[in-house]
Amino acid sequence: MTSKDRVMTTLAREAADRVPINYMANPGIDARLKLHFGLDPDDRDGLRDALGVDFRQVRAPYTGPPLHREHPNRRVDPCWGWRTRYIEHGSGAYWDYCDFPLAGADEETVANWPMPSPDDFDYSEVDDFCRRNHTYAIHVGDPGLGCIMNTAGFLRGMEQVFIDLALDDSAGLLLIDRMLEIQLESARRILEFARGGVDFMWLGEDLGTQNGPLISRALFEKHIKPRHVPFFALAKAYGIPVMLHCCGSSSWTYDDYIALGLDAVDTLQPEARDMAPAYLKERFGDRLAFHGCISTGGPVAFGSVHETIAYCREILEIMMPGGGYCFAPTHALQDNSPTENVIAMYETAWKYGCY
């Protein structure tokens, strides 16, 4: 099978020749893996080929003018204006969201906040990208597409976002709707320019803590689910499946999303409530495909090579029967993951992931 055949067979909940493989990682471990394989630091596709990754994302890069000014000791996103600061930790560093420039903003301020037009993205290379990568499973979007709470929180702060949803704050809801409108139209144009070259849509919305729902069902049904309906409609119009990234204890929403047309779920943090692999396979395996389930906070990060292999084999044995499982980390592999453990993780998928 080609990678495309393998992934599409799996998203249809059927057994392929082997489990499809995917990869997401933070910069530190990503750099160490490239060094391990003798690759250039910017050789993104070379690393994916070395790991046997079956997926590729098609993008339309932003080519418009910077809409937001730089600030000292900050990274400022030129499109949306959110800010991050450099935070060092024991195994590396990351850019953390900060300042939250729209935290106290009223509706007028939010309405005037500069945001990119869908016209400001370059779609001219989309068709060529899809043609060059036609043997891979190509997706439009990623865990950020359609994401409401996290993305609004980059500008407004997470506490304020929860208040916005609970109190129907007009400023907060306007921010959400402005961002989603741009995302939806940009995704539509990518699909149009791809000329049938995109295989599935990847959406995202974190809806769980480790112990239960992040918000009430009432807020989910009022503010989250209806705003995702247009994305499912867009995917349906182009005849492609939808996969939803959802961190934490999120299985409480799966039936709702299945009714909207959801085909696969991503992340699958096994430590979270009602997210154990065996539970998911038994409860939803006849209706959903699965992508993830290899914990970034378990043996891959804190165990030995032997423990990593044993853990990955256990997940494969639970999730593979009957098809419908894509081998991937629960989120981005973290920088505290030993290189040898990550290599063992992917070697295990190759060795034991065949049907």
- Domain membership of residue 242 as a residue range: 3-63+120-352
pLDDT of residue 92: 87
Kindly indicate the confidence band of residue 323, based on its pLDDT and cuts at 50, 70 and 90: very high
Contact 249, 209 (CB under 8 A): yes
pLDDT of residue 334: 95
Upper half-sphere CA count for residue 43 (Cβ side, 13 Å): 16
Kindly indicate the confidence band of residue 178, based on its pLDDT and cuts at 50, 70 and 90: very high
What are the pLDDT digits (tens) for 188-244?
999 999 999 999 999 999 999 999 999 999 999 999 999 999 999 999 999 999 999
Looking at the predicted structure, is the pLDDT value of residue 250 above 90?
A: yes
Residue 142 resides in a domain: yes
* DSSP notation for 21-67: B---B-HHHHHHHHHHTT--TT-HHHHHHHHT--EEEE---B-S---
Residue 111 resides in a domain: no
A 10 A CB-CB count for 188 gives: 17
Contact 225, 246 (CB under 8 A): no
pLDDT of residue 256: 98
What are the pLDDT digits (tens) for 140-175?
999 999 999 999 999 999 999 999 999 999 999 999
Which residue, among 355, 300, 307, 350, has the nearest Cα to 329 in the 3D structure? 300
Residue 347 resides in a domain: yes
Rounded CA separation 213/204 (Å): 15
Residue 26 resides in a domain: yes
Q: What is the mean pLDDT of residues 302-314?
A: 98
Residue 83 resides in a domain: no
The total number of structural domains that make up the chain: 1
What are the pLDDT digits (tens) for 96-109?
999 999 999 999 99
Rounded CA separation 37/17 (Å): 26
Residue 69 resides in a domain: no
Which residue, among 23, 15, 1, 17, has the nearest Cα to 330 in the 3D structure? 23
Structural tokens at position 35: 């060094």
For 297, phi and psi rounded to 5 degrees? -115, 15
Residue 85 resides in a domain: no
What are the pLDDT digits (tens) for 252-295?
999 999 999 999 999 999 999 999 999 999 999 999 999 999 99
- What is the CATH classification number for the domain harbouring 218? 3.20.20.210
Structural tokens at position 305: 């090579």
Residue 77 resides in a domain: no
Mean pLDDT of the chain: 97
